[in-house]
Structure 1
Amino acid sequence: MIPELGHYALVLALFVALVQSTLPLVGAATGNAAWMAVARPAAVAQLALITVAYLALTWAYLVSDFSVLNVVQNSHSAKPLIYKLSGVWGNHEGSMILWVAMLAVFGAAVALFGRNLPPTLKARVLSVQGMIGVGFLLFILITSNPFIRVVPAPPDGNDLNPLLQDPGLAFHPPFLYLGYVGFSMAFSFAVGALIEGRVDPAWARWVRPWTLVAWSSLTMGIAMGSWWAYYELGWGGWWYWDPVENASLMPWLAGTALLHSAIVVEKRDALKTWTILLAIVTFSLSLMGTFLVRSGILTSVHAFAVDPARGVFILGLLLLATGGSLLLYGVRAPGLKTGGLFAPVSREGALVLNNLLLSTATATVFIGTLYPLFLDIVGGGKVSVGPPFFNATFLPLMIPLVAAMVVGPMLSWKRGDLPGALGRLGAAGAAVLLSVLVTVWLTGGPLLALVGIGLGIWAIAGSAVEVAERVRLFRIPLRDSWTRAAGLPRAAWGMTIAHAGLGIAILGMTGTSAWVTEDIKAMKPGDRTTLAGYEILFEDLRPAVVAGNYSADVGRFRITRDGAPVAVLTPERRSYNVQRMTTTEAAIHTTWVSDLYIALGDPGQTGAWTVRLYHHPLVPWIWIGAVIMVAGGLVSLTDRRLRVGAPERRRATPPPAAQPAE
């Protein structure tokens, strides 16, 4: 009964979305306030109905209702509770329910909290959001219904993919989807503004908080996916330019450009048409990522193995959303009023350079990801585009991007003084020089590693110098500087924190790429080896330790350094009997400056086990930096000015009471 209730709720949500996508739009065009007002209750009702559907599917997983085909295919009675919950979105059908639920959350948030939006713009934005909902609800009901019954019900299920039975992958998809879907709000605002024919600084201020939410969520989702790949797959890497990894990176790059471009619209009323285009492209790239994962054209540990016919449906949605919005853009964008002029050397100019480099980087990843697929489709044969291509084309674009990222905030709006800005960054330049010299002294290179270390320190020190300049540190009394720091806009603090977090992540990427030490050995209990100054003793192996729905072989490795004990690491090789699949659970000893990483491989015929040993300098800083970047985005979100463009309300001062006559 409950699964049927969930299915019925989805059908009702589709009809509500149809109403939301039509009546308010017509009302805005005809000036009918009553029809425009339908958008708000429709968006809330759609969220309520999709929530019912999501909870119904969750209930089926929690009680192991194996009369539901989706539960049979992705769950098992012995599976731990956390993976029963994450199993709801750990498959194609359930993940699409999560997708439309988040889509409805964003729509309802605008409906409930967008009180300061002009009524016509609000109606049009919610109508566009409703159209997106119609497309995906149709997709679920026609091709991906998660409530299909199976008769007779089997006694147990097929279990969840063992690679997904991990805390990192349990929460990675929700953050990723929150980022993907969040950009739909910027898309809806862009299309709504094109229909209305008006883009102004207030519009940019309304768009920025939704874009910040999406960008921060996608940053966290990508970081969690990278961390999962690092410790779960057993190869010691954190990024491999996998097509599905690239599918999440592209909207992140475009979304970063959108955030910076919206600042120019808000502050200088310029780059309007470019910002609208970025909003369209960013969400289109999010849709493309959805298509790649679910079309069946990719073979990846991240991809859903599904019927390619579903990919055709999503491709149709992608073409309709992208093609329709670009057609509207071509018709209406030339009529948008242009903003103020600015000199090439200015803060606006730096942000334009930022956008050009980010857009070029996005195009580079786009071509490298889709070119092999396109060539295969047209019969040109199979080619492989891997890390060498991306390292040779993408990374050089990041060098001027990070360099300009620090200089830009030091320039004035409209017309800047480049020599003066560079002069104020003298302390940051000195920090870069010192860090490079220390790196040469400690490691001797290589050259690209020195460039990476210099860029990371430049981003961190430059962010600190920028704050010091704002508060006039050491030029006025310390108490006054503290007062100025407390009065800085939170969006400015968020920018500084995010830029510094990027610098920390760059240091981590550089360190582990340039100075990783690895060794793959066949070892038996009692064998010893050394790696990066650590002595490693393979003490013993405990086979067939039963835990939950899997059994495991657990190795015990004692780590010492110069005779002093450091740690005991216990990597595992797990065997999931239902799925008949083995996974690797690496054991990691971290000092927060480096990681010692041990993964237990397959056993050999002689009794020896394949053991993978890695020493990764600075690798924890990749994820520390990513978390700091997310924190920067969240700090910016607390800025009152970004709350849907709402000015701060002040209570009117009451008139003084009349004095009684004496």
Structure 2
Amino acid sequence: MMAEIGLILIIIAAVIAIITSLSPLAIKYHLIPLDTRITNHYIDTLVKLCFVALILAIAILGYLFIIDDFSVAYIANSSNTQLPLVFKVAAVWGGHEGSMLFWITAIAAWSLWIRPKNGLSSEFDNHVSAVMAMVLCGFLLFLLFTSNPFARLLPEIPVEGRDLNPILQDIGLILHPPLLFLGYVGLTACFAGAMAALLGPKTAIQQHCKRIRPWAILAWIFLTGGNAFGSWWAYNELGWGGWWFWDPVENASFIPWLVATALVHSLILSEKRNSFHASSIMLCIVAFNLCLLGTFLVRSGVVQSVHAFAADPTRGSAILILLLISACASFTLFALRAPRLISRPNFEQVSKETLLFIGNLLLVVAALSVLLGTCYPLIYQVVSGHSISVGAPYFNSLFIPIVWLLSLLMGAAPLLRWQHDKQPPYRQLMLLAMAVTLLSLSASYMVTQGFDFWLFCGVFSVCWIVSCLLLTIARALTQTTSLSVSRLCQPPRRKRFYSMCLAHLGVAVAILGATVVSNFEQEELLRMGPGQGKQLAGYTFVYEQTEQVDARSYSAIQANISLRDSQDRIISYIYPQRQTFKTNGMELSAAGIKRSLFADMYVSMGVPLSETEYLIRLSYKPLVSWIWLGALIMMLAGFTAISAGRIKARQTQTHSANKPSVPAEAS
């Protein structure tokens, strides 16, 4: 009965979404009262009801997982009685049907969150809610007709479930998918804001971009976390020790992150300089449609990946239809309305605006290059009927030079002024560039006894970004005669300045980690058994013994490996396992990792080669954790920027409230 209630709630939410999406037309043609407060209350109520229906539906699905109701097909395919409680809850979004319901519920929650309170909604807010409702309507119909999470297995109900995929039984499942979906939801809100801005008057476009900016930053934060935790999850769980493989499913979430990064910077230009509105709107549209394209790649079965959901041509066709409808409608509206947003640039060639614009172009080029490498095998197979693969060499050869160019802009842009810099710091930048180039060349030569282009690019990027950041901070602290310092000391400006510094520092830290681990990782693949040892990177790995381990959901063969320093002192023990899951007999290699800030010792256990010996992979991974540390710093920077925006909004409201002749407007 609970499953049927959940299905009814989804149907109710779909009906409410349809009504909400039609509300602007109803207002325009006088089908509902025109009084602003009544209209806003009407839409507020619909948005709240839709959220309540969906949150109850997903709560019911979670409850059915907890009580092991295997009459529901989704639960029977994704859980069993031996699964720990935390993974039963995480399994709600661990499969296709549940993850779509989670995504839809998050859209409803975000739609409610961005509605102004106290009935002070504007026409822009009502249009945003209508567009969000249209997206909800499309996803809900997709869920009902192709991916019902409450479908029953009747009359034959299994006694035991098939179990959650062992690869998903990791903390990564708790963090990675929700963060990605919340990022997609944020880009959905930006898309809705872009559509509402196109429908509104030109004079309000700057204010609309200010409204969209915090949504874009929050979406960027979630996408940063989702991609970082996905990389960390693969590093821990897949057993081969890689942190990025340019897998099609990885790329499907990375491409929207690149566009979202460009969007955040474009919205800065729109807000501060009242320009680049058309490019900001276009990036909102492109980012959302790339999310739909990524969803199609992941859920249609057109790409083969360990991360992909089960292949289903029907679902793939339905998602493709949603993508075509969204792309055609949004790009058509943009083509009709965007020309009025294009204005003549009011800045000089040597300015912060120029570098930000070039940086956005490079980010879009990077996204297109990754998209081409991801989709080219599919296009080639359709055209020629033959298979082809595009691997890491293609992506690295294009992406690393683009990152190097972006690092140049990231370092130089904060040192220039808005609109026109009468005294650009050419001399400082040239001297700094020469010093960083010499340092990078020296480091590359000393380490490799030659010239390594990729190593040079990585070292130069890190040194350039960090040195320019230090110079930027020094200039901000020493220019006491200018007004910029007094303005910088204001809380919102100070926080925005520090958030920029933190974000760029996070990029530098991630680049440093990726450069060092890619160039200086050491690895050995060998057969080992009790009493055998191997030296690697100045450490000795000694295979002490093999143990049998029995857990609730799996049994495992575990190797106890001691890690010793150059003086033969035991530093730590590492415990890689070869796990066999009880419900389906699936085998999985669980790596043992000795983590530290400066290097990870990574050991994975392969197949048995004799009665006592196993195939063992030993890896020394210097600074690999800095990749994810950089992502955390970037996320912190994003939250700092949002905090600065909230402070500024409160100050603006207070300033407006103190003027009796001007009524306060909703933020």
Shorter-chain TM-score: which interval? Answer: over 0.9
CA 1:526–1:279 in 2, change beyond 3 Å: closer, same or farther? same
Kindly indicate whether the alpha-carbon contact (under 8 Å) linking 1:205 and 1:641 is maintained by their aligned counterparts in 2: no
Residue 533 of structure 2 corresponds to residue 528 of structure 1: yes
Residue of structure 2 equivalent to 1:223: 228
Q: Return the TM-score normalized by structure 1.
A: 0.93
Residue of structure 1 equivalent to 2:131: 128
Distance 2:294 2:24 in 1: 30
Structure 1 residue 456, shift from structure 2 partner: 1.3
Residue of structure 2 equivalent to 1:139: 142
Equivalenced residues, count: 650
Distance 1:481 1:643 in 2: 16
Distance 1:496 1:115 in 2: 38
Residue of structure 2 equivalent to 1:298: 303
Amino acid across the alignment from 1:343:
E
Structure 1 residue 460, shift from structure 2 partner: 2.5
Farther off after superposition, 453-462 or 404-413: 453-462
Partner of residue 62 from structure 1, selected from 61, 66, 76: 66
| Aligned ranges 1:220-259 → 2 under 5 Å | 220-259=225-264
Aligned-residue Cα RMSD (Å) equals: 2.5
CA 1:85–1:429 in 2, change beyond 3 Å: closer, same or farther? farther
Residue of structure 1 equivalent to 2:209: 204
Farther off after superposition, 61-70 or 337-346: 337-346
CA 1:413–1:156 in 2, change beyond 3 Å: closer, same or farther? same
Amino acid across the alignment from 1:130:
A
Residue of structure 2 equivalent to 1:71: 75
Distance 1:411 1:25 in 2: 47
Kindly indicate whether the alpha-carbon contact (under 8 Å) linking 1:294 and 1:306 is maintained by their aligned counterparts in 2: yes
Residue of structure 2 equivalent to 1:420: 425
Residue of structure 1 equivalent to 2:198: 194
Residue of structure 2 equivalent to 1:176: 180
Secondary structure at the residue paired with 1:647?
helix
Structure 1 residue 493, shift from structure 2 partner: 1.6
Residue 649 of structure 2 corresponds to residue 647 of structure 1: no
Structure 1 residue 296, shift from structure 2 partner: 1.3
Farther off after superposition, 262-271 or 437-446: 437-446
Residue 552 of structure 2 corresponds to residue 548 of structure 1: yes
Residue of structure 2 equivalent to 1:80: 84
CA 1:380–1:542 in 2, change beyond 3 Å: closer, same or farther? same
Structure 1 residue 577, shift from structure 2 partner: 2.4
Distance 2:8 2:551 in 1: 39
Amino acid across the alignment from 2:277:
K
Structure 1 residue 200, shift from structure 2 partner: 2.6
Unaligned runs of 5+ in 2: 661-667
Residue of structure 2 equivalent to 1:463: 469
Partner of residue 516 from structure 2, selected from 511, 515, 527: 511
1:413-454 alpha-carbon deviations (Å, 9 max, x no partner): 112358515616856875675466456435546332132012
| Aligned ranges 1:583-598 → 2 under 5 Å | 583-598=588-603
Residue of structure 2 equivalent to 1:14: 14
Distance 1:148 1:99 in 2: 19
Distance 1:255 1:115 in 2: 31
Residue of structure 1 equivalent to 2:460: 454
Structure 1 residue 154, shift from structure 2 partner: 1.6
Secondary structure at the residue paired with 1:87?
helix
Partner of residue 608 from structure 1, selected from 597, 613, 621: 613
Distance 1:451 1:268 in 2: 33
Which one has more relative contact order, counting CA pairs under 8 Å at least 6 apart? 1
Kindly indicate whether the alpha-carbon contact (under 8 Å) linking 1:295 and 1:306 is maintained by their aligned counterparts in 2: yes
Secondary structure at the residue paired with 2:524?
strand
Kindly indicate whether the alpha-carbon contact (under 8 Å) linking 2:526 and 2:616 is maintained by their aligned counterparts in 1: yes
Distance 2:264 2:192 in 1: 16
Farther off after superposition, 460-469 or 365-374: 460-469
1:333-383 alpha-carbon deviations (Å, 9 max, x no partner): 112252642122111101110111011111101111111111212344111
Structure 1 residue 41, shift from structure 2 partner: 1.7
Distance 2:183 2:486 in 1: 37
CA 1:28–1:102 in 2, change beyond 3 Å: closer, same or farther? farther
Partner of residue 323 from structure 2, selected from 318, 341, 362: 318
Farther off after superposition, 11-20 or 25-34: 25-34
Distance 2:399 2:222 in 1: 23
Residue of structure 1 equivalent to 2:663: none
Distance 1:297 1:644 in 2: 46
Secondary structure at the residue paired with 2:508?
helix
CA 1:643–1:158 in 2, change beyond 3 Å: closer, same or farther? farther
CA 1:652–1:566 in 2, change beyond 3 Å: closer, same or farther? same
Unaligned runs of 5+ in 1: 656-662
Farther off after superposition, 202-211 or 578-587: 578-587
Residue of structure 1 equivalent to 2:665: none
Partner of residue 49 from structure 2, selected from 37, 45, 50: 45
